[in-house]
């Protein structure tokens, strides 16, 4: 089982100059929790829903809502993203990708091929692969009692 067989190909991406509110809207609309950040097709970072939440001011701020909105609108993804994130090759065994996610405590990894972003693999993809493999083994066991 290889990463390329279970990853989400051609994921939604942003560039470092995209405003934080726009990235948040893209993530909300798409229903995902991470966005690879690319420049000319090359992975330069990743921004997560957690990064976006941490970029927002606390409720204890003395700024007005207009000041907050103005400041946030001026904040770019490049300022809050994780630079040079851990990534995996599309030909890596899925088990190795799962091990990296556990080791680094991340929920997803950008997938690259020859330096270009080609997909993203998440914990959900790993679970899907596990369940698919489990089903295949059950079918095989029923066929050969």
Q: pLDDT per position in the chain (145 positions), as tens?
A: 999 999 999 999 999 999 998 999 999 999 999 999 999 889 999 999 999 888 776 555 665 666 666 666 678 999 999 999 999 999 999 999 999 999 999 999 999 999 899 999 999 999 999 999 888 877 766 666 6
Separation of alpha carbons 100 and 6, rounded Å: 16
Sign of the torsion angle spanned by Cα atoms 42, 45, 49, 52: negative
Residue 109 CA, chain-centre distance (Å), reads 6
Spatial distance between the Cα atoms of 59 and 140, rounded to a whole number of angstroms: 56
Domains defined for the chain, CATH in brackets: 3-143 (3.10.580.10)
């Amino acid at each position: 089982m290889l990463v390329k067989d279970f990853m989400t190909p051609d994921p939604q991406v942003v560039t470092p100059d995209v405003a934080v509110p726009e990235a948040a809207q893209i993530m909300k609309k798409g229903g995902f929790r991470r966005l690879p950040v690319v420049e000319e097709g090359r992975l330069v970072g990743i921004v997560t829903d957690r990064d976006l939440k941490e970029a927002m001011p606390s409720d204890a701020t003395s700024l007005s809502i207009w000041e907050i909105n103005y400041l946030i609108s001026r904040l770019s993804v490049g300022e809050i993203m994780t630079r040079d994130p851990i990534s995996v090759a599309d030909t890596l065994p899925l088990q190795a990708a799962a091990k990296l996610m556990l080791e680094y405590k991340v929920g997803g990894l950008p997938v690259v091929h020859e330096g270009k972003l080609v997909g993203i693999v998440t914990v959900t993809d790993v679970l899907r692969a596990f369940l698919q493999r489990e089903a295949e083994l059950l079918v095989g066991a029923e066929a050969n009692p």
